Amino acid sequence: MRKLISSIIATIIVATVYATDGLMPSVGSPFSIIPVPNKIEITKGTYKLPDNGATFYIKGEKDCTLGEYLRTSSLALQQANKAGSANILIEISNKKGENNREAYELHITPKRVSIKATDEAGAFYAIQTILQMSEGGAKRELQCCSLSDAPRFSYRGLLFDVSRHFRSKEFLMKQMDAMALMKLNKMHLHMTNGAGWRIEIERYPRLTEFAAWRPYRSWMDWADDTRYCESNYPTAYGGYYTKEDIKEILKYAEARHITVIPDIEMPGHSEEVLAAYPELSCSGEPYKNSDYCIGKEETFTFLENVLTEVMELFPSEYIHIGGDEAVKQGWKDCPHCKRRMQEEGLENVDELQSYLIHRIEKFVNSKGHKIIGWDEILEGGLAPNATVMSWRGTEGGIKAMKAGHDVIMTPGESCYLDFTQDAAFKEPVSIGGYTPLKKVYMYEPLEQNISAEEAKHLLGLQGNLWSEYITEDSHAEYMYYPRAFAIAETGWSRPENKDYENFRSRALGLCSLLQAQGYTTFDLANEFGERKESLQPIEHLGKGCKVSYKLPYNSKYSANGDATLTDGVLGGWTYLDKCWQGTMKDVDVTIDLGTVQPIKYVGASFMHSAGAWVHVPKKMDVYLSEDGEEFTLVGTVWGDIPNEIPKILFKQYSVVCNGKARYIRVHATRNDRPGAWLFTDEIVIN
């Protein structure tokens, strides 16, 4: 009961201070902080940090890295000779325990700033709070207040896909500064993928001489011709981190209390390795397989050697091994894989992948580390100590938690930052989807069907930015910010203290601060928002009428089932909104109006998103019938959006006619592109 009362009081305090923010613009305010602290109490007065010669003193931790950080930060602090003379006094208690890690108390009085923390990370985060209040040190006068703060989750991360487009170490360090400001503490570095290998491995020089380079800068061009080249090729594009680069990155991260988690992809997405070392594939030839051959011992020798060098560099408890989207096709006919399956008593290729995951986990554990894998590692049986990163929705994560495994939630619908964050017509090219700031912010990782015991296995959440269509660094920043703010607040703050409208106001301020520091951010102030057509029901003759399907829709994108195309609901900017119905076949449906009526118009909206293999139909035919037996073709409209157009587009194809009918048949012929999807939301009849 006492905890409940404290939570209610904290919520009231936070709500009150936000509602009464009437401070002068020149005074640094705690109301602007992201993530929102657990408890804020406003007290009388202000405290002014000296413009020059401001000092700090640290008690309780002599060998910490915080001192050097404070000297080089925008607060421009110097070491005081004694505690009593310091403008900012920091006390680190070094209390051990999982429940108080990264926690801090911040007290600003008219006389000084005091910080009490349970560990160095907590003191560091208190400084980040001051940096936000002072707008990066620009505001020297701070509102007097007391803050009590601690994180909700221990894992609060962002993924950086440096395989598809290489990012310099300077870029990564710059993003660490932004991450630290938001109290994010995990940088998942996706360094290997078919698009390029990005880390020096001394035993295998061809990984950086050849597999790290491709002849095309554009990922889309490379995807059409998946070849690699020597580093001195005239149009070579790529790069990699030397071991010295990694050491520099890790030192920078350590000072900002960020753990860098290396990602070495296996068994799939490994085309670049198999081009450089084809003997590790099932065929033994380059450019034929994308998965390692699990039947060959050479594969495990290679992976263990690579992981050994990686683990010698990275102090991270976790090593990410991927495990997602393995094709597995080559394994079915490979004599080496067949022999492995027979020897190990494996019934299918899912169990063969599980064999690799189990074996690699045992090796990684022997070196004092743990593995993380995408939720596909559940297939065929999960390795004993593996942590699951759930991206295909939350089902995999829930299953893993219930089985006693640690989980990091990163569902694509809420945490994939490569989806467009505003109306597609005004945004840069993206892979598809629509994930605005509000959708990221409203995601709650702890679902109601999780017990308290199971919830202990939920480590936190992560935002992922895959960079297929994100060539430039500035574009990457634009996609991270402000959506990374939402990841940060959900990971740190108590859910009862969250409020989207208040958060959006604070996000506008933090965007301005980052822009002043040289970051590119999304223009949140001029957000267009959801597709306007989807915001209210549409009325037409066919609304609510029965739809008969000649061909089935895909169960994964069923939307409202058989009622979808006449429910009066138009879809939004993404096919993931459960309003668009998808198929990899033709759309061939007949609508029964119930009675014969005059028909003047029949139309349907379709989506184009080349990056997601979603295309408008090749053509759409419309037929009318009075009896449901004899149909008359009344018009054909042809698709006119070329496949190569990268933008997300929406178009209504329609036929104007002059007839009578009870039954309307619409046949949309799927685009010829192999693997093409067809999505529609409503067939409108007038």
583 with 495, same domain? Answer: no
Task: Return the bridge partners of 626, or none.
Answer: none
- Beta strands 88-92 and 113-117, pairing class: parallel
CATH code where residue 322 lies: 3.20.20.80
383 with 476, same domain? Answer: yes
Express each pLDDT in 457-500 by its tens digit. 999 999 999 999 999 999 999 999 999 999 999 999 999 999 99
451 with 501, same domain? Answer: yes
Express each pLDDT in 286-297 by its tens digit. 999 999 999 999
469 with 609, same domain? Answer: no
Residue 110: give the domain boundaries.
Answer: 2-149
Q: Where do the DSSP E strands lie in 587-669?
A: 587-608, 619-625, 632-638, 649-669
Q: How confident is the model at residue 647 (pLDDT cuts 50, 70, 90)?
A: confident
Q: How confident is the model at residue 88 (pLDDT cuts 50, 70, 90)?
A: very high
14 with 83, same domain? Answer: yes
Cα–Cα distance, 430 to 216 (Å, whole number) = 18
Q: Where do the H-state alpha helices sit in 316-410?
A: 329-333, 335-344, 349-366, 395-402
- Reading the block at residue 160, the tokens are 């950086």
546 with 522, same domain? Answer: no
* pTM greater than 0.95: no
Cα–Cα distance, 656 to 684 (Å, whole number) = 12
Domain closes at, from 83, 118, 149: 149
What does the angle CA 462 – CA 463 – CA 465 come to, to the nearest 5 degrees? 140
391 with 409, same domain? Answer: yes
CATH code where residue 68 lies: 3.30.379.10
489 with 549, same domain? Answer: no
Express each pLDDT in 182-241 by its tens digit. 999 999 999 999 999 999 999 999 999 999 999 999 998 999 999 999 999 999 999 999
Helix axes of 297-313 and 349-366: crossing angle, nearest 10 degrees: 40
DSSP state of 416: B
What does the angle CA 151 – CA 152 – CA 157 come to, to the nearest 5 degrees? 75
One-letter amino acid for residue 511 of the chain:
C
Task: Return the bridge partners of 28, or none.
Answer: 142
Of 19, 111, 11, which is closest to residue 502 (Cα–Cα)?
Answer: 19
Secondary structure of residue 644 in the 3-state scheme: coil
Cα–Cα distance, 559 to 414 (Å, whole number) = 18
Instruction: Specify the pLDDT at position 506.
Output: 98
Express each pLDDT in 504-534 by its tens digit. 999 999 999 999 999 999 999 999 999 999 9
117 with 180, same domain? Answer: no
Are the CB atoms for 570 and 605 separated by under 8 Å? Answer: yes
Using CB atoms within 10 A of its CB, is residue 98 exposed (0-12), middle (13-18) or buried (19+)? exposed
Number of domains in the chain: 3
Express each pLDDT in 3-47 by its tens digit. 333 443 444 344 444 444 555 678 999 999 999 999 999 999 999
CATH code where residue 618 lies: 2.60.120.260
User: What percentage of the chain has pLDDT greater than the value 70?
Assistant: 95
28 with 93, same domain? Answer: yes
Whether omega for the bond prior to residue 50 falls within 30 degrees of 0, making it cis, is: no
Express each pLDDT in 93-141 by its tens digit. 877 665 679 999 999 999 999 999 999 999 999 999 999 999 999 999 9
Instruction: Specify the pLDDT at position 504.
Output: 98
Are the CB atoms for 211 and 272 separated by under 8 Å? Answer: yes
114 with 179, same domain? Answer: no
Of 422, 433, 607, which is closest to residue 528 (Cα–Cα)?
Answer: 422
DSSP state of 124: H
145 with 160, same domain? Answer: no
